[in-house]
Structure 1
Amino acid sequence: MERSVESKPTIYFEEPFGVGVFEELDGDKLSVCRMVFGAEPTDAEIYDFILKHYYHLRFSASVKTEIKQKADNPKRLQRNARKQMESSGIGTKSQQALQKQYEENKTERKQLSREQREAEKQRQFELKQQKRKEKHRGHYAVFGEAFKRND
């Protein structure tokens, strides 16, 4: 009796760290482990982690799952792999929701910083105008009341 175990790592970015989800399929039983990496893990760091620490990972309890019939045709396997690589990147609905929230926060931050920048510019302009007015008060203010015209 032949026994096969398949492993599949998935790495994605979850603010502010890279997260790895390792799936292990043993027959019809699925186990999962989640690992948090540093800020932006490189491919080499992930590969090194898998080589050194994979057997120390704590996988969840096995869950029975349905196995889809696999395509035996190697060209079809290659085509499916290419499609999977070209997909939108983040796969699950929750990850897409996180990405959308991140983008919304980014636009809000941009708008807020733009408003602050404009307010600071306006304040500087008004300060400059006020200084100009103080410098250019006219000759009456400079020489005092003695030179005021009497009408």
Structure 2
Amino acid sequence: MNNVSANLKIYFEEPKWICEYFRKTGDEIEVCKLFFDFEPVSSDIYKYFLKNFNNLTFQKSRFNIEKSILI
């Protein structure tokens, strides 16, 4: 059985707020980037993921991260 972990990173890069969602399955890391026009709070992100999770597009990460990603 593979271990699965997920991490979320939110930061501001003019002119948008960027949310990077990382998921790690075994040795593979995938990332999905979301863009917000406003500063998202936890409830905004939670609602977005509940409504749109099945439509997210993940790409394999170019990074080779051995440790967990800290937010």
- TM-score by structure 2 length? 0.76
CA-CA distance at 1:38 after TM superposition: 2.1
Indicate the structure (1 or 2) with the bigger Cα radius of gyration.
Answer: 1
Counterpart amino acid of residue 24 in structure 1: R
- Cα drift, residue 66 of structure 1: 5.0
**Which ranges of structure 2 fall in alignment gaps of 5 or more residues?**
none
% identical equivalent positions: 31
Aligned length: 70
The structure that is strand-richer by fraction is 2
Structure 1 residue runs of 5 or longer lacking an equivalent are 71-83, 86-151
- For the structure 1 residues 64 and 16, does the alpha-carbon distance in structure 2 shift closer, same or farther, using more than 3 Å as the test? closer
Which AA in structure 2 matches 1:29? E
Q: Normalized per residue, which structure has more helix?
A: 1
* Alpha-carbon distance in structure 2 between the residues aligned to 1:55 and 1:36: 17
Between the aligned partners of 2:5 and 2:23, the Cα distance in structure 1 is 6
Deviation at 1:54, TM superposition (A): 2.1
| Alignment of 1:57 onto 2:56 | yes
Runs of 4+ residues over 6 Å off in structure 1:
none
Change in Cα spacing, 1:67 to 1:50, as seen in structure 2 (3 Å) is same
**1:5 aligned partner:** 4
So what's the TM-score if we normalise by structure 1? 0.40
